[in-house]
């Protein structure tokens, strides 16, 4: 497993809880001390699975190759950042390792994500007889698998798909992001995008929003965003006429985000800054990326768990032609309590809802259920064994047939 952040912490706890499938693993990240601290915390809780740790810069293919050739992992779970997807895939190919991630590749100098960069590896993985599983978190991940489940069991034709993501939790901070702040702010400040009648429709950032009612939570203002799973779902389910993604934001969050943008702190280009030297001997001109500096002063998402109340609710609202030839609606979702996630893993619900599916994806691979040569999005595998595990591993899901979708 590469990375030792919030999502990786949850995945590590879940791996050791499933000792009938996983026998040993390694946690490798930019800072080995962070991996060691995580292993110590896991072992203190009484889990005895052997876990090795290592330092690696996952931007460097040669370092990754040296690590993989030494440890010889069957599967590499990439829980670092989207910037590292391609270097890790390259190293996997060079060393004969299979691959799984939770977010699609994004270049550092351009706030833009799409699958084309990773889909370009299809032939090479296929020819090498290796499996790459893309986007196995919650969204992308479980939302794509929910859609596959709806298509397999309930619909002849999915026509309208709305993925709805609500975080109704309160961490009692004025402003904080729930996962890596740099990745999160880049995602939200992008233009919106959705699929309608065979083409992409672009909106201004956060231009379209409406109240949607979430189970056990109630109405929350929900904003249309571009989200990566839509890109593969409209290809894999060509009957979809319209596909959109919605995420809730509170006014307090949006107010801070607006200020951050207006004062230039969300910039991802380098700016020159005259910085004092650590030894006090003078100053030096340094280059900083404002958004990376902002990440250094914002609360660490890993530290939000302790006082986090409330729950997340993420699911798919689907309309289409059912197996009986009539029009039906279907809502499939999971609610996750931040407190329960914290009590089990020390992390909040957003890390939990990502780390659990990453572990289940790895489990599907190790059991041989999701294993075929090539590069695949998760909806291209059988959803049934995955969703059976989701119920068992702390993220139970629910269905509402023929309810009001509000959309």
Q: Which residues bind ligand NDP (CB under 6 A)?
A: 2-8, 29-31, 34, 56-59, 79-82, 84, 102-103, 137-141, 179-180, 183, 301-302, 350-351, 354
Cβ 405 vs Cβ 315: under 8 Å: no
In the complex, least distance from residue 202 CB atom to ligand NDP, rounded to whole angstroms: 22
In the complex, least distance from residue 157 CB atom to ligand NDP, rounded to whole angstroms: 27
Q: Which residues pair with 329 in a beta bridge?
A: 319
Cβ 306 vs Cβ 288: under 8 Å: no
Q: Which residue is nearest to ligand NDP (CB)?
A: 5
Using only C-alpha atoms, what is the Rg of the chain? Answer: 21
In the complex, least distance from residue 269 CB atom to ligand NDP, rounded to whole angstroms: 19
**Nearest residue (CB) to ligand NDP, 137 versus 192:** 137
In the complex, least distance from residue 140 CB atom to ligand NDP, rounded to whole angstroms: 5
In the complex, least distance from residue 86 CB atom to ligand NDP, rounded to whole angstroms: 12
Tell me how far apart the alpha carbons of residues 154 and 401 are, in angstroms, rounded to a whole number: 10
**Nearest residue (CB) to ligand NDP, 176 versus 257:** 176
In the complex, least distance from residue 326 CB atom to ligand NDP, rounded to whole angstroms: 33
Beta strands in 40-172, from DSSP E residues, in sequence order: 51-55, 75-78, 98-101, 131-134, 155-167
266-272: list long-range contacts, CB under 8 Å, 24+ apart.
266/185, 266/186, 266/189, 266/290, 266/291, 266/294, 267/291, 268/108, 268/109, 268/110, 268/111, 268/186, 269/109
**Nearest residue (CB) to ligand NDP, 82 versus 290:** 82
**Nearest residue (CB) to ligand NDP, 88 versus 234:** 88
In the complex, least distance from residue 105 CB atom to ligand NDP, rounded to whole angstroms: 10
**Nearest residue (CB) to ligand NDP, 31 versus 112:** 31
In the complex, least distance from residue 270 CB atom to ligand NDP, rounded to whole angstroms: 18
In the complex, least distance from residue 302 CB atom to ligand NDP, rounded to whole angstroms: 6
In which element (H, E) is residue 328 found?
strand 327-337
Cβ contacts of 296 within 8 Å, gap of 6 or more = none
If one counts every other C-beta atom within 10 angstroms of the C-beta of residue 364, the result is: 22
In which element (H, E) is residue 9 found?
helix 6-17
Torsion of CA 348, 295, 137, 379, to 10 degrees: 150
Cβ 329 vs Cβ 405: under 8 Å: yes
Tell me how far apart the alpha carbons of residues 26 and 44 are, in angstroms, rounded to a whole number: 17
**Nearest residue (CB) to ligand NDP, 79 versus 128:** 79
Tell me how far apart the alpha carbons of residues 263 and 271 are, in angstroms, rounded to a whole number: 13
Give Cα 192 to chain centroid, integer Å: 18
Quote the Cα angle for 269-254-176, to 5°.
75
**Nearest residue (CB) to ligand NDP, 3 versus 320:** 3
Q: Which residue has the tokens 């990375």?
A: 3
In the complex, least distance from residue 328 CB atom to ligand NDP, rounded to whole angstroms: 27
**Nearest residue (CB) to ligand NDP, 42 versus 128:** 42
Six token digits for residue 341? 């996630």
**Nearest residue (CB) to ligand NDP, 128 versus 142:** 142
**Nearest residue (CB) to ligand NDP, 57 versus 157:** 57
């Amino acid at each position: 497993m590469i990375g030792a952040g919030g999502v990786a912490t949850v995945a590590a706890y879940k791996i050791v809880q499933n000792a009938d499938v996983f026998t040993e693993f390694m946690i490798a990240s930019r800072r080995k001390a962070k991996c060691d601290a995580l292993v110590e915390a896991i072992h203190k809780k009484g889990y005895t699975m052997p876990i090795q740790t290592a330092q690696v810069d996952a931007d460097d293919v040669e370092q990754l190759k040296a690590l993989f050739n030494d440890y010889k992992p069957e599967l590499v779970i990439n829980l670092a950042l989207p910037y590292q997807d391609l270097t890790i895939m390259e190293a996997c190919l060079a060393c004969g390792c299979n691959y799984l991630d939770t977010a699609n590749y994004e270049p550092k100098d351009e706030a833009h994500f799409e699958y084309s960069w990773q889909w370009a590896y299809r032939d090479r993985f296929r020819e090498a007889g290796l499996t790459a599983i893309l986007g196995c978190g919650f969204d992308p991940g479980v939302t794509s698998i929910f859609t596959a489940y709806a298509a397999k069991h309930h619909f002849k034709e999915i026509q309208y798909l709305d993925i709805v993501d609500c975080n109704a939790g309160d961490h009692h901070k004025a402003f904080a992001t729930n996962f890596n702040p740099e990745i999160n702010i880049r995602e939200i400040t992008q233009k919106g995008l959705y699929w309608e009648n065979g083409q992409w429709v672009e909106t201004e950032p956060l231009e379209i929003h409406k109240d949607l009612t979430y189970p056990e939570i109630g109405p929350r203002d929900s904003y249309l965003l571009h989200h990566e799973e839509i890109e593969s779902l409209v290809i894999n389910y060509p009957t979809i006429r319209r596909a959109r993604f919605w995420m809730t934001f509170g006014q307090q969050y949006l107010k801070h985000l607006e200020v951050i943008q207006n004062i230039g702190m969300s910039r991802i280009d380098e700016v020159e800054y005259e910085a004092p030297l650590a030894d006090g001997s003078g100053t030096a001109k340094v280059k900083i990326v404002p958004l990376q500096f902002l990440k250094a002063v914002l609360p660490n998402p890993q530290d939000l768990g302790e006082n986090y109340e409330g729950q997340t609710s993420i699911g798919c609202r689907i309309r289409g032609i059912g197996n009986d030839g009539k029009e039906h609606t279907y809502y499939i979702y999971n609610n996750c309590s931040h407190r329960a996630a914290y009590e089990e893993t020390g992390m909040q619900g957003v890390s939990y809802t990502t780390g659990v599916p990453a572990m289940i994806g790895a489990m599907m691979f190790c059991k041989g259920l999701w294993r075929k040569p090539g590069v695949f999005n998760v909806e291209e595998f059988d959803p049934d064994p995955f969703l059976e595990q989701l119920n068992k591993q702390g993220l139970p899901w629910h269905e509402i047939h023929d309810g009001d979708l509000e959309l």
